[in-house]
Chains A and B, each alone.
Chain A
Amino acid sequence: MRIPQCCFVALAGAILSTARAAPAADLRIMRGDDVRWAARDWDDSGWPTVRKVPGRTGIYWVRWHTHLGQASEVGGGPDTLQPEHGGPVNAIAGAFTCSFDLYWDGRLVMRNGVVGRDRASEVPGTLEFLALLPGDLLGSGEHVVAFRISSFHYNFTDSQSFGIPFSTLNYDRRNAEYDRQVIVPMFGMGCALVFAVICGVLFWLVDRRRPLLYCGLFCLAVAVYNLLVGWRYLSWLVFKPETYDQLAPRYMAIMWVMTLIGWLLPMMFLEQFAIPRKRWWLAAQGVLLAAVWRATWGGGTYGNVLWQCRAILAVSAVAAAWAVWRRRTGARLALAAALIGLVTVHRASNPPQFLAPTFLLTFCLLVTAILAAIGLQVQAARRAARAAELTAARMEIELLKKNLQPHFLLNTLTALSEVIEQNPSGAVRLVNDLADEFRSLSRMSAEKLIPLGQELDLCRAHLRVMSLRTGKFWTLEAENVDPAALVPPALFLTLIENGFAHQRVATPAATFVLREGDPANGARNYTFVSPGEVHDDPLRTPGGTGLRYVKARLEESYPGRWGFRSCQTATGWETVIEILAA
């Protein structure tokens, strides 16, 4: 398997890179199995000295002459528990990737797993171990520690040998130290889970925005990362302690989870701040992470995670800087969080941690920044929705105002008074035409869109009323129109009213013309021609209430995908309305 091999190499590198030179004379090894080798006074002067012990081989013994409170200093680094915990020395502790029996001055004090002659007979011991030393053997002077070792489950395939860091220390202090070690990753996992739940709830119940989904997944990944990092201590304190063969897969998982985080965090930024060319950004991120993997090849899990994290934050900072430049909402906070992370995230060396607790702060800041940006966007969207609702209500009122426009109504009633007195049968016609117009208007007043046929009926009823009032014969011709097509109500009626307000017709009869152009790519276009000459009125302001109504109605029903233009032509005033496909 290629991937595990990479991790094994990395881990080996980590151990090598962090190991302090062990005094070669101290650790003595002998292949074979003889229980007498546990004895305190066994002469091991002929045994070879080593810095590391072999993996996946037969049973062998390791002896070490020590004084109380001394660390083995072999294969130190992140796995080494330093002896400065304080308190009277009464225990021995360490972290070995092997099964072993532990003898203190010739007396067996611990069996960690079952030492076997082959893989089948060996039972892997726990990675961490802590054994109380016999009280009667804690006197001053030299002591001898002897390990009977087998390591058939050692699964760092890149390396054939490993360090066996251990030290004598105080039992209670060592447990307390582990209690402290578990706090940061568990707190980080808790925070990340809470954020993930918040994002999940917001995504499912409030607003299905993609950045929320990415943010939730990012939080989950961070929670998993913290769990994996803290598992060493958590499993020791709460669950069944981790066996030594589980270390390599856990380290591999940590590195890949960081790579996953490295994909989710920039994606979150790219989505949230609507940054274009996402593929390029992700490709750059991929190249950077690949470079980190390559550069840390054999350099250890800790270095890999640290540099991956830095690469992620660097790409995110550049993305956030772009968003700040383009004045995206919430981008400044995101940039600050990424920069703080870049400056502060590092690896603490003693006690060893994957990333210093500042990673937790950076993570909280990043998520807060994204949530704040999302919140501000949702707020803006809500405002826009509310404004749209208000526009819809205002449009309805505008239409009702057309329905009950006092000037139109009172002038019509005045004309009607005259017709009643002079021509009663004409008066009945006028009343009917007026009723037709009002019925049409009230029927469509609550609608956002109506069939064009209804709109044309309304226009013609209005023209009949105006014909009687003005003493001219007004008509409407519709060419090539689809009566079932939907249009905002009173759209063309408003254009007719504008025609009456701003144009003059000298002839006793005139015709308004509505033409529908041939549809192209699902788009529609209407050309409306009002007859007559635009009169020279110095007070006429462009875009009066009529045009505002028409444009607001178009925007309400076809947001951002309509066009409106008008100009004077030889035959009158031509207005072209285009409605693009959704």
Chain B
Amino acid sequence: MRLLIVEDEPLIAQRLERMCREILGSALEIVIHAARPEETEVRLAESPIDLMLLDLNLEGSDGMQLLKRSVAGSFHTIIVSANTDRALEAFEYGVLDFVPKPFTRERLAQALGRSAGASARSDCAAKYLAVRKHGRIDLVAVNDLLYAKGSGSYSELVLTGGATELHDKSLEKLQALLPAVFDRIHKSYLVRMSAVKALHASEGSHYEAELKNGTRLPVGRTRYKEIRAKLG
């Protein structure tokens, strides 16, 4: 795992790194530090990361702006901050966890465990997904999302109006942030279950889910029974 710690206080950054090394052991490949928003942008541009630990108050700067830019990235973000009153807002933008200061090793381990686990879900589902578009960051309301199609390290978001957007996170990472109304019907599809009209089975164990707008999406053979049970 490649970890970026964004923290302006050296003692706290030191504590985070020490604890992460103890918790993750050999799984932690590299730890990068940044103390300011500009420095963070530079570090992110230099090398890809898997997880960012972000303080919301960096030398007087509002980390929320940095957060809005970083959640569009392919990595997960965990907030480590004393500003607990902004936790809900942070979750809305799609952070995986919010670790309040001062923190214990156990609490940090729990947050790091979430980022490692494939089926982990955030405590609070995101309300927006950040997408990069023409060099800027746009926010897409999760309420408008019909389904997401995985495409390697990124996802294609299909909205209820038919529009599509590209999101930098993998389908696994996206599933961790989205609310429980979204289910994985196929290794490449994450669907809002309330939008499914019917399930169809055809020859050769080929299954499809028909959405209310007529779109047909493949259903994984191993997931078919579970999906049918959920739809009742």
Contacts and interface: CB of A to CB of B under 8 A. Distances in A.
Interface in B1-23: 8-12, 14-15, 18
A535 B102 contact: no
A468 B60 contact: no
A449 B60 CA distance: 28
Contacts of B102: 410, 413-414, 416-417
A495 to B, nearest CB: 14
A411 interface: yes
A496 to B, nearest CB: 13
Contacts of B61: 535, 537, 539
A501 interface: yes
Contacts of B101: 410-411, 413-414
A198 interface: no
Contacts of A537: 60-62
A469 B100 CA distance: 18
A513 B18 CA distance: 37
B62 to A, nearest CB: 5
A500 B11 contact: no
A469 B82 contact: no
B83 interface: yes
Per CB-CB distance, the 5 closest pairs between chain A and chain B, nearest first, are: A501-B60, A410-B82, A418-B15, A414-B102, A471-B10
Given A415-B12, A421-B15, 10 more contacts: A407-B83, A410-B82, A410-B100, A410-B102, A414-B102, A469-B11, A471-B11, A537-B61, A539-B62, A539-B65
B15 A417 contact: yes
A535 B36 CA distance: 10
Contacts of A470: 8-10
A406 interface: yes
A504 B83 contact: no
A419 interface: yes
A456 B69 CA distance: 41
A515 interface: no
Contact of A407 (B14, B18, B57): B57
B226 interface: no
A415 B13 CA distance: 9
A502 B60 contact: yes
B14 A418 contact: yes
Contacts of B9: 411, 414-415, 469-471
A466 to B, nearest CB: 10
Contacts of A411: 9, 12, 82, 101
Contacts of B14: 418, 422
B59 interface: yes
